[in-house]
Amino acid sequence: MKISTKSILLISALTSSFFLIYASYKGVILYFVNEAMEDTFVGGSTSDISIFLWFTISGILMLITLMFLFFLKIKDLKSQKIIITGLTVFWIIISIFLTLINFSNFWISLLTFTVGILSFLSMKNLKKTIVAELNRKGLTDKEIYLLRKLAGVSKD
């Protein structure tokens, strides 16, 4: 399966934006429930901390989504490899934590694990692209000189 770096970054941005929408939805619902509970004679309320946490999670997810979109501009293949490696680890760790915390959200952890597998495949394709580009480019004169000097071979 050939998956490009741009496509996995877009998939990651889309996945994190789904989580962003979900966290924002939870925060808004909690806010309105809190407002409705204050208007009743019972006087019950939801925790302001939980509302704050959902909106904080939404903010963090927005930054992560924007970070994925920002990474689309990076053209250096070695930098892309480092980013995709980190992305693979990120999604797989997220899926493991989601599975351990609450197994009832199996589909959500399966989604994150799938994105992790896709980013792993993208990383493998990127490594092949880097090797092919290095083979195509060949060695520069300075690299040849340094290799000869390292090997102790003088230029004839």
- Residues 64-121 pLDDT 10s: 999 999 999 998 888 999 999 999 999 999 999 888 888 777 888 889 999 999 999 9
User: Would you list the DSSP string of the chain?
Assistant: ----HHHHHHHHHHHHHHHHHHHHHHHHHHHHHHHHHHTSSS-----HHHHHHHHHHHHHHHHHHHHHHHGGG---HHHHHHHHHHHHHHHHHHHHHHHHH-GGGHHHHHHHHHHHHHHHHHHHHHHHHHHHHHHHH---HHHHHHHHHHHTPPP-
Please check whether residue 120 lies inside any domain of the structure. Answer: yes
Q: What number of CA atoms fall less than 13 Å from residue 27's CA on the CB side?
A: 16
Per the domain annotation, does 88 fall within a domain? yes
Mean pLDDT for 132-137 is 84
Q: Within a domain: residue 116?
A: yes
Residue 40 domain boundaries: 5-151
In tens, the pLDDT along 31-46 reads 888 877 766 656 555 5
Q: What global pTM score does this model have? A: 0.78
Does the residue 80 lie in any domain?
yes
Structure tokens belonging to residue 90: 């990120």
Whether residue 66 is contained in a domain is answered as yes
Residue 54 has pLDDT above 60, yes or no: yes
As for how many domains the chain has, the answer is: 1
Question: Is 156 inside a domain boundary?
Answer: no
